[in-house]
Amino acid sequence: MTTIADKLTALAAVKEAQRVALSLGTGVPFAEYVDNFPSGGTPEWTPLDLPLSAGLVGDYRPWDLSTLFQDAAGTIPVTADGQPVGLILDKSPAGNHLSTLVLAQRPTYQTDGVKSWLFFDGIDDLLTSATVMPLMQTFTLVAVVKTLYSGGASANIFGQFLSVFTRSLALRTSSVVQLNANIRSGGANFAFLSGKGLFPVDQQFGLSYIPSIVVGSDKIAHGYLDGSLASTQDASASIATGADAPLFVGRNAVFNFYGGAVFTTALSSVDRLKVEGYYGSKRWVS
Amino acid sequence: MIRLTIVAPLALIAGANQLALAMGSTEADANTFGEAQFKDADGNLYAVCSLLCTERWLEKLSEPLKPRLGADMEMANAVQATMSLGGLATTAGITAIQNENPQAALDEMGITYNS
C-alpha cells in the first residue's frame, strides 16, 4: 500500500532530478524550474533583462498562455487553439496590458502545437491599452508578424495610436505590399506619403517578418527588416509632440502577431538584435 | 467556436449596435459596428464586425431577444427582424455569414473596403 509519505518521497525525488538536470541551486523555487530555463540550464535572455533605461513599455508574448485571457477582466484564461483573446498582459514593468471589452474586437489565439500567435481578422480586431502615455519622441518598435491581407490602402498594426497621433508599424497595399512606419503628430503623415517607404517593397502575403523601427533624438527613422537595415528616412516633419496615446495591436490588416515590444528609446544595434532574436526565435522555434 | 461576420448597412448601424448590446457581455458592445468603411458594388456603405462565437450564441441571435445592458430593444428587435444568413449584402437589412475566413465572408457578401 502506497502511503502519503511514499508519494511525497517520490515527488521530492522528481523535483531533485529536475533541479540537477537544470543545474539549479537548491534555493530556486520549484515553480521557476520550467519557465525560467526552457532550454535546459541556460537562463533565457528576455527584453526584461535590458536596463530600465531602455524604456521597455510594452512586451507581448502570445506564446505565453499565462498572459492571455478571453475576457478583458482577465477571469477566463485562454487554454486552447481557436479561442478569442480579450486581454494580453504586458510583461514589462509599465503594465500596458492590451484589451478590448467588445466581443467582436477580440483576436484569435492560434497554435500549431509549437508556435503560437494571435490572428487579427482585419475587420475589427483591436487590442489597446487602457492607459495612455506621452506620444513617443524617441522609440523602438519590434514585432514579429505574418502579413496575410490588407484590404485597405493602409493599416496601422502595432505601436502607439490615437487618431492622428501615431508611432506604429503599418502595412500598406496601395500598389505593392509594404510594411512601413507610420509616424504622425497631427500634421504630416510619415508613412503613407509617396516615397516614404521605410522597408523594401517586396514583402509578400503569407510570409512572416521581423520589422523594427528605431527613431532617435536625431529624428531619423531607421527601418530594419529581419535584422538588417532597410533604409533611413528623415521623420523630423512628423515627430513633434502631440496628444497622449495608448499602445495597440490590430486594426485594419489581416495578420498573425507572434509578439513584439515597445521601447521609449532608440535601442543600440546590439540590444535591438537581441530583442529581434528573442521574438524571432518564437516564430521559428521547433 | 465559429466565426461569424456580420455587415450592417449605413442606415442600420445604430440599430445593429443595439442588437450587439442585447447579445453582448458589456456595455462596450454598443460599439461593435464602427464606421461604415466597406461598400458593395453599387457604392452603398456598410459597417462590419467579425467575431468568434459559440453555436449557442448563433442560435440565440435568431431567438426572441431579452432586454440586456440597457439596450434599446425596439431598435434591436427591428434590426434582428431584417437579418438574413448568407447571400449578398443588402441595404434592406443586416447580413451574417459563417465562414472561418472573414475576408472570404466579405467576398461572399460582395463587400470591399471603401479605400
- Angle in degrees, 0-180, between the axes of helices B73-82 and B13-23, rounded to the nearest 10: 100
Query: How far is CA A177 from each of CA A148, B6, B16, B56, rounded to the nearest angstrom?
Result: 10, 27, 33, 39
Closest CA to A229 of A211, A208, A204, A205: A211
Instruction: Report the SS3 class of residue A232.
Output: strand
Dig out the grid coordinates for A57 from the structure: 513599455
Provide, as residue numbers in chain B, all residues whose Cβ is less than 8 Å from the Cβ of A123. Answer: 5, 48-50, 102, 106
Helical segments of chain B, H only: 13-23, 55-60, 73-82, 102-109
Q: A182 vs A38, A99, A114, A142, CA distance in Å?
A: 36, 22, 32, 14
Minimal-distance CA residue of chain B relative to A254: B103
> What distance in Å separates residue A281's CA from the closest CA in chain B?
27
**A84 strand-pairing partners:** A108
Q: Do B37 and A152 touch (CB under 8 A)?
A: yes
Which residue from A minimizes the CA distance to B48? Answer: A123
User: For an interface test with B, which of A101, A121, A126, A174 has the most B Cβ atoms less than 10 Å from its Cβ?
Assistant: A121
Which residue from B51, B103, B115 is facing A103, i.e. has the nearest CB? B51
Mean pLDDT of chain A: 85
Separation in Å, CA of B100 to nearest CA in chain A:
10
Contacting residues of A for B53, CB less than 8 Å apart: 103
CB A275: neighbour CB atoms within 10 A? 25
Report field, pTM of the whole predicted structure over 0.90: no
- In chain B, the residue whose alpha carbon lies closest to the alpha carbon of A153 is B115
Q: Who among B20, B34, B112 is closest to A151 (CB)?
A: B112
Query: Among A84, A106, A123, whose Cβ lies nearest the Cβ of B5?
Result: A123
- B102, B41 Cβ separation under 8 angstroms: no
Which residue has cell 497554435? A111
pLDDT tens digits in sequence order for chain B, 115 residues long: 999 999 999 999 999 999 999 999 999 999 999 999 999 999 999 999 999 999 999 999 999 999 999 999 999 999 999 999 999 999 999 999 999 999 899 999 999 988 6
Provide, as residue numbers in chain A, all residues whose Cβ is less than 8 Å from the Cβ of B1: 82-84
Chain B residues whose CB is inside 8 A of the A72 CB are: 26
Q: Which of B5, B76, B86 lies closest to B46, judged by CA?
A: B5
CB atoms A151 and B106 under 8 Å: yes
Q: Are strands A87-88 and A98-99 parallel, antiparallel or unpaired?
A: antiparallel
pLDDT per residue as tens digits for the range B56-79: 999 999 999 999 999 999 999 999
**Quick one: cell of A236?**
523630423
CA distances from A173 to A114, A258, B114 (A): 31, 21, 14
Cell of A279: 521574438
- Hey, is A263 helix, strand or coil? strand
Task: Report H helices in chain A.
Answer: 4-21, 32-35, 269-284
pLDDT tens for the 286 residues of chain A, in order:
556 666 556 656 656 665 565 556 666 555 554 444 444 456 789 999 999 999 999 999 999 999 999 999 999 999 999 999 999 999 999 999 999 999 999 999 999 988 999 999 989 999 999 999 999 999 999 999 998 876 666 788 999 999 999 999 988 766 667 788 899 999 877 876 656 778 877 777 888 899 999 999 999 999 999 999 999 999 998 999 999 999 999 988 889 999 999 999 999 999 999 999 999 887 664 3
Q: What are the Cα distances from residue A143, in Å, to A3, A249, A278, B55, B103?
A: 52, 10, 10, 34, 24
B25 at A interface, C-beta within 8 A: yes
Residue A115 distance to chain B (closest CA, Å): 20
Which element (helix H / strand E) includes A270? helix A269-284
Cα B58 to Cα B80: distance, rounded to the nearest angstrom: 12
Selecting from A83, A102, A151 the residue whose C-beta is nearest the C-beta of B28 gives A102
